[in-house]
Chains A and B, each alone.
Chain A
Amino acid sequence: MRVVVDFDLCESNAVCMGIAPEVFEVRDDDFLYVLQEEPAEELRPKVEEAVRRCPKQAISIEG
């Protein structure tokens, strides 16, 4: 599983960080950082939820 963020769409609402803080972090500079681009499979449900709940539909999963 590979996490892809479209940073042109991302508005740093930080919803993903609330759902999967292991993978997504909005830092104090207001930018989103992907902490693990290829997270472990057990994180898939959380990442999928983050994909669904992103207000900008900026996150996708490859693989």
Chain B
Amino acid sequence: MDSIAVVGASLAGVNAAATLRAEGFGGRLVLVGDEIRDPYDRPPLSKQVLAGTWEPDRIALPVDLDDLDLEQHRGVRATALDAAARTISLADGGEVAVDGIVLATGATPRRLPGATPTGVHMLRTLDDALALRAALDADPARVVVIGAGFIGAEVAATCRERGHEVTLVEAMDWPLARVLGEDVGRLLAGVHEEHGVDVRLGVGVDHLEADPLGAVRAVHLADRSVIESSVVVVGIGVTPAVEWLEGSGLALDDGVVCDEALLAAPGIVAAGDLVRWPHRGFGEVLRIEHWDHAIESGRAAARRLLAAPGDAVAFEPVPWFWSDQYDRKIQLAGRAAPHDEAVVLSGSFEEQRVAVAYRRGDRIIGVLGVNRPRQVVQGRMLIERGASWDEGLALGDGA
């Protein structure tokens, strides 16, 4: 393999490129990214950057691209791929023909249906975060956050800490209940209410009302209530950024369909938010949108591309994420659902400090913690080595 292109210059793509060089690839290495900015870390966007405590230079990724001897196409979107020919078309009319490709174009925030008035924000990129921060600096009377997933909940928390009045709207009965269960959802809703957020659960958005100049003026909910606001943040999830791969010859199904070692087609691997692959350890087909997964899958995809036939290693990480909301740190190692049993290892939901273990069959498959980082990481180590449920339960001893 003499030439490789990495498409996507965020966490997964940059880790893939760095790993290719670290593993000894000395050929032509192309990096395509649709943002002009140097690659940056996203978790602080909804927290320190939005709060105004960190400036953009603080979140640069700790990788020096100059050291990687790259042919860079920055601020340029990839528009098409021919998987058989391994040719990538770029928005500036250019074309990149290579032997190997890492697909790492991430995900795109979902939009509400209909026209988007001004004053309606999303939070995916640094520019998004800075635009929202500028809107908050104008001291709006109220911020409405639509969607109480990780991004929405973190934005709501940061806005409260900045002193803004906040309404948090969630169409489901509890925040994050589908991922983390109703008990955790109830806990999180309570945390936001205690911090003064107006939490509206189980109600969808009917429409956004704009003034004659096209600026958002109010959010109309499905229960006919109306919340006046000039700043609205939409955090209703993301979809894998794979439109540009339509017609490429690759299998697409809510992401790029890969084998157990992240191969999408001969010479083509995928990493980050868009990879859908069978995880042998959990016996599930997964697609994961978390920070740690972007790093791990970026590295694994790079190694897979360089592996000799027969040397491919199945990608079987124990997924892990964290979310900081006020003084609560929510972490999950492994899987929370579907499970056969959930047991509180220590603490309680009432005190908003709790560790929960999840069982599937006779194995521990996940540990959730709210302000329990020690038990989450211990759980992660157990799950990594396929530990039994009894070993998992022992995590609660002495805690």
Residues of A within 8 A of B373 (CB): 12-14, 26, 30
* Measured CA separation A12–B328 after assembly (Å): 12
Contact status B329-A12, CB under 8 Å: yes
Residues of A within 8 A of B292 (CB): 15, 53, 55
Contact status B374-A14, CB under 8 Å: yes
Query: Which of B264-272, B375-383, B386-394 is the interface stretch?
Result: B375-383
* Measured CA separation A27–B329 after assembly (Å): 15
Residues of A within 8 A of B376 (CB): 14
Please report the total number of B residues contacting A with Cβ < 8 Å: 18
Contact status A17-B377, CB under 8 Å: yes
Residues of A within 8 A of B371 (CB): 30
A45 interface residue (CB < 8 Å to B)? no
A11 interface residue (CB < 8 Å to B)? yes
Partner of A28, one of B324, B374, B377, B381: B374
Contact code string B294-311 (vs A, CB < 8 Å = 1, else 0): 010000000000000000
Within 291-344 of B, Cβ neighbours of A (below 8 Å) are at 291-292, 295, 320, 322, 324, 329, 331
Greatest chain A CB density within 10 A among B376, B377, B380, B381 is at B377
Residues of B within 8 A of A11 (CB): 324, 329
Residues of A within 8 A of B114 (CB): none
Residues of B within 8 A of A28 (CB): 374, 399
Majority SS at the chain A contact face = loop
Residues of B within 8 A of A27 (CB): 374
Closest-CB distance, B328 to chain A (whole angstroms): 11
* Measured CA separation A27–B381 after assembly (Å): 16
Contact status B329-A18, CB under 8 Å: no
A57 interface residue (CB < 8 Å to B)? yes
A52 interface residue (CB < 8 Å to B)? yes
Contact status A53-B329, CB under 8 Å: no
Q: Which residue of the partner chain B has the closest CB to A27?
A: B374
- Can you list 29 A-B pairs with a CB-CB distance of less than 8 A? A11-B324, A11-B329, A12-B329, A12-B373, A13-B322, A13-B331, A13-B373, A14-B373, A14-B374, A14-B376, A14-B377, A15-B292, A15-B320, A15-B377, A17-B374, A17-B377, A18-B377, A18-B380, A18-B381, A21-B381, A26-B374, A26-B377, A28-B374, A30-B371, A30-B373, A30-B374, A53-B295, A55-B43, A55-B291
Q: Could you list which residues of chain B lie within 8 angstroms of chain A, going by C-beta atoms?
A: 43, 62, 291-292, 295, 320, 322, 324, 329, 331, 371, 373-374, 376-377, 380-381, 399
**The 8 nearest A-B residue pairs measured at CB:** A14-B377, A14-B373, A18-B377, A26-B374, A12-B373, A17-B377, A26-B373, A18-B380
